[in-house]
Amino acid sequence: MQGAILVLSGPSGAGKSTIINHASDEIGEYYFSISTTTREPREGEKNGVDYYFVTHAQFEEGIKAGDFLEYATVHGNYYGTSLKPVNSALEEGKLVIFDIDVQGHRLVRAKMGDYVTSAFITPPTLSELEKRLYARATDDKSIIERRVKNAKEEIHALGEFDFIIINDEIPKASAQFATIANAARLKQNNEELEKFVKIWDN
């Protein structure tokens, strides 16, 4: 398989979607991995766009069948990444972008490490994160407090990532993201390397 994986992690409110949209002209074609979840769709969320919404029983069947590249439970709901669309995209040589948490990053790296480049996207400070979460006013206070608490824990996993992007100014952060995404495409996985060495010395 010739494709590559780019894992993006970072607190909710770090600006991941904004950065990806801003850079999308510079990074060429990619497949944005859609997660599967058992939680209820929120207003405006569409099946197959925001998430694949499934039942608890369906998700657990998937787990048993080995369908998930990674999964976790958060507040009683399952969240996971189906392996099949990822493998299809990789076989087409695409860059597959994941927006998952640090635990998801660990699992993807453990399974497909030679395909993975990863970046942690963060606001410059914790207080800036808090400010942004309150400013966008999409979550109520208890959810914001939980996000801030999660962020405080996740920041200590920074060293596990290949890159960090400090989202202070969007144009700068987007340019850095584009550079990282284009480098991620050049990463050679072990299967490709072995093929290359075989034809090289022949």
The residue ranges that bind its own copies (CB under 8 A) are: 122, 124-126, 152, 155-156, 158-159, 162-166, 176, 179-180, 182-183, 186-188, 190, 193, 196-197, 199-202
Task: Give the nearest distance from C-beta 70 to its own copies in angstroms.
Answer: 23
User: Is 63 or 158 the residue whose CB approaches its own copies more closely?
Assistant: 158
16 assigned binding-site residue: yes
48 assigned binding-site residue: no
CA dihedral of 151, 31, 60, 144, whole degrees rounded to 10: 20
15 assigned binding-site residue: yes
198 assigned binding-site residue: no
Task: Give the nearest distance from C-beta 124 to its own copies in angstroms.
Answer: 7
17 assigned binding-site residue: yes
Task: Give the nearest distance from C-beta 196 to its own copies in angstroms.
Answer: 7
User: Is 54 or 184 the residue whose CB approaches its own copies more closely?
Assistant: 184
User: Is 166 or 170 the residue whose CB approaches its own copies more closely?
Assistant: 166
Backbone angles phi, psi at 3, to 5 degrees: -70, -175
Task: Give the nearest distance from C-beta 133 to its own copies in angstroms.
Answer: 15
Q: Which residues are annotated as a binding site for ATP?
A: 10-17
Q: Which residues are annotated as a binding site?
A: 10-17
